[in-house]
Amino acid sequence: MGRVDEGEAGERDTGWNRWRRPRPEPAIQRSDVLIGLAVLAGSSVMTVLVNSMGMLVFGAPPSLGEQLAWGAALSLPLVARRRYPAAVLVVVGVLFIAAQARQTGDSLMASVALFLAVYSTGAWERNRTVARWSRIGVIVAMFAWLGVGLVKSIAQPDYDFSAAAGPLDPMLASVLYNIGFNLMFFLSAYFFGNLAWLSARRQAELEERAEQLRLSQRQNTRNAIVAERVRIARDLHDVVAHHVSVMGIQAGAARRVLDKDPELAREALRTVEQTARTAIGELRGLLGVLRSEPENGQESGEREAHPSSPGLDQLAELVSTAESAGLQVAHGVYGEPRPVPDGVALSAYRVVQEALTNVVKHASARRADVRVRYLERTLEVEVSDDGVGRAGASSAQSGGFGLLGMRERVAVHGGHLEAGRREGGGYRVRASLPTEPSESIEDSEEPPAS
């Protein structure tokens, strides 16, 4: 298994080593035009200033107009420096040497143009072999040109070293200075260009991994939703099977006593009707949930194994379990307790179970309150706590799938779930579940689909 993982990692690394930087967007291309014009303007200003001061490094220059033309020739290729970086580098390198051979007055902006060309080739050239060797070739050519200039300076010194006071020979110091300055100049352009390209590749890799993570999370959420719905179907299967069994038993009893005891038969048939109404209501709710698409952004969570069909009678056991984990739980029943459909009891149990589990695992709470209210036509269960959750979030918002599971369980019966922070602190989960079917068998237009 380790060999496979290493092979996959190597293949992935090789793929990113072959990565090609996307071509510059129109906005970036427009910025290159502005940069090229800015270098042109700077070159024109520096040429005029140098000639006005007479600070001519290379001796007698050509006419001012020709010097301005050389400055334009060096600057304008920069408008395409990110679209055709290697070509721009070669052009600027050749023009740079040619301009110095013509002894133009300004060397500052020409050096800026050359630096940008070397940098852009390292940062934007899609063919990395071309990027490497084009820069190396231009740098070697520049040092060869520098060597020619240094040889001329040594053969025919143009400098007055009368003020020299250092420990080194003035000519040797001049040679070392020029070599050191140019090394720093070209290596900086080379290094920062490579750094920009690597930064762009890492950004692209992070974006791709973020997209893969998003797709994986979506798939995990969908799988968890499917698993939750299968669990709902499995839990309600026992309830529906119970209803059908009761209907069969009561119908058989009614058939046997129909002639002897009509009143008993009528009571048995009434039970059959009520049981059938309850079963159809639960089937409709279940099929409605299973057919619907999950809401965007909803999450579900991990599940633990519990008895298949518990009910309200087992809530005391849930409270005891939570208390054994160190939580103080108050359990109250309000209203007149009465029998409720098994499916409703099961869903109420699961809601309380999930809410208490989240309180124990995530809420950092000391107290919890479990309330069961028997209202006129509904059963209401509520779980509240005084915790704050991790990073200030409530237990139900801790990133699990529990809230979705509770919503779908309640939706099976046409109920309503509320979950959110309380004004005084802590979190509250409240589920309202109808205990009476909303329609009779006669109101059903069609049987539930299978």
Q: What is the pLDDT of residue 134?
A: 93
pLDDT at residue 315 is higher than 50: yes
**Which of 214-218, 245-249, 307-311 is predicted with the least confidence, judged by mean pLDDT?**
307-311
Model confidence at 234, pLDDT cuts 50, 70, 90, reads low
Report yes or no: 334 and 374 within 8 Å, Cβ to Cβ: yes
Q: Provide the pLDDT for residue 286.
A: 64
Q: Do 127 and 249 reside in the same domain of the chain?
A: no
Q: Do 188 and 70 lie in a common domain?
A: yes
**Which pLDDT tens digit goes with each residue over 251-271?**
887 888 888 888 888 888 887
Q: Report pLDDT digits (tens) over 65-75.
A: 999 999 999 99
Q: Is residue 8 one of the residues assigned to a domain? A: no
Q: How far is CA 241 from CA 64, 201, 290, 350, 439, in A?
A: 101, 60, 19, 19, 20
In a shared domain, residues 76 and 117: yes
Q: Are residues 248 and 283 in the same domain?
A: yes
**Residue 181 Cα to chain centre, angstroms:** 45
Position 369 pLDDT exceeds 60: yes
Same domain, residue pair 193 and 63? yes
Residue 220 pLDDT > 80, yes or no? Answer: yes
Residue 401 pLDDT: 54
Asked if residue 300 is part of any domain, the answer here is: no
- Is residue 444 in a domain? no
**Tens digit of pLDDT for each residue in 321-355?**
777 666 889 999 999 999 888 888 888 988 888 88
Domain boundary residue, one of 181, 213, 245? 213
C-alpha torsion sign, points 258, 263, 264, 267: positive
Write down the pLDDT at residue 306: 39
> Are 150 and 264 within one domain?
no
Angle between helix 108-124 and 64-75 (nearest 10): 10
Q: Is residue 194 part of a domain?
A: yes
> What is the average pLDDT across 366-391?
86
Q: What does DSSP assign to residue 18?
A: T
Task: Please state the φ and ψ torsions of residue 143, each to the nearest 5 degrees.
Answer: -70, -30
Predicted local distance difference test score (pLDDT) of residue 430: 94
What's the CATH number where 239 sits?
Answer: 1.20.5.1930
Would you place residue 241 in the very low, low, confident or very high pLDDT band (cuts 50, 70, 90)? low
6 part of a folded domain: no
How much is the average pLDDT of 404-423? 85
On whether both 49 and 75 belong to a single domain, the answer is yes
pLDDT confidence bin for 411, thresholds 50/70/90: confident
Q: State yes or no: pLDDT of 446 exceeds 60.
A: no
Q: What pLDDT score was predicted for residue 325? A: 64
Structure confidence at residue 167 (pLDDT): 80
pLDDT of amino acid 266: 84
> Max Cα separation, the chain?
140
- Is there a single domain that holds both residue 283 and residue 325? no
Question: Residue 242 — pLDDT band, cuts 50, 70, 90?
Answer: low
Distances (CA, A) of 447 to 210, 230, 284, 414, 442: 47, 22, 9, 18, 11
Find the helix packing angle between 128-155 and 170-257, rounded to 10°. Answer: 170
The span from the CA of 114 to the CA of 186, in Å, is 9
- Domain contains 144: yes
Q: What is the mean pLDDT of the chain?
A: 79
Both 181 and 206 in one domain: the answer is yes
Residue 212 has pLDDT above 60, yes or no: yes
How does residue 294 score in pLDDT terms, banded at 50, 70 and 90? low
pLDDT digits (tens, 9 = 90+) for 80-129: 999 999 999 999 999 999 998 888 878 889 999 999 999 999 999 989 99
Identify the CATH number of the domain in which residue 322 sits.
Answer: 3.30.565.10
* pLDDT tens track for 115-166: 999 999 999 998 999 999 999 999 999 999 988 888 877 777 666 666 677 7
Number of domains in the chain: 3
Considering Cα of 340, then 341, then 344, then 348, what sign does the dihedral take?
Answer: positive
**Pairing assessment for the beta strands 378-385 and 427-434 based on DSSP bridges:** antiparallel
What is the DSSP pairing of strand 427-434 with strand 416-421?
A: antiparallel
Judge if 46 and 193 occupy the same domain. Answer: yes
Which of 291, 322, 340 is where one domain is finished? Answer: 291
User: Does 60 fall in a domain?
Assistant: yes
Average pLDDT over residues 33-42: 94
Q: What is the pLDDT of residue 287?
A: 66
Contact between 409 and 351 under an 8 Å Cβ cutoff? The reply is yes
> Does residue 14 fall inside a structural domain?
no
What was the pLDDT predicted at 410? 87
Q: Please state the rounded mean pLDDT for residues 268-295.
A: 70
State whether 284 and 150 are in the same domain.
no
Residues 248 and 281 in one domain: yes
Which residues have CB under 8 Å from 91's CB, separation 6+?
A: 77
Domain enclosing residue 252, as ranges: 228-291
Q: Which two tokens stand for residue 360?
A: 């124990």
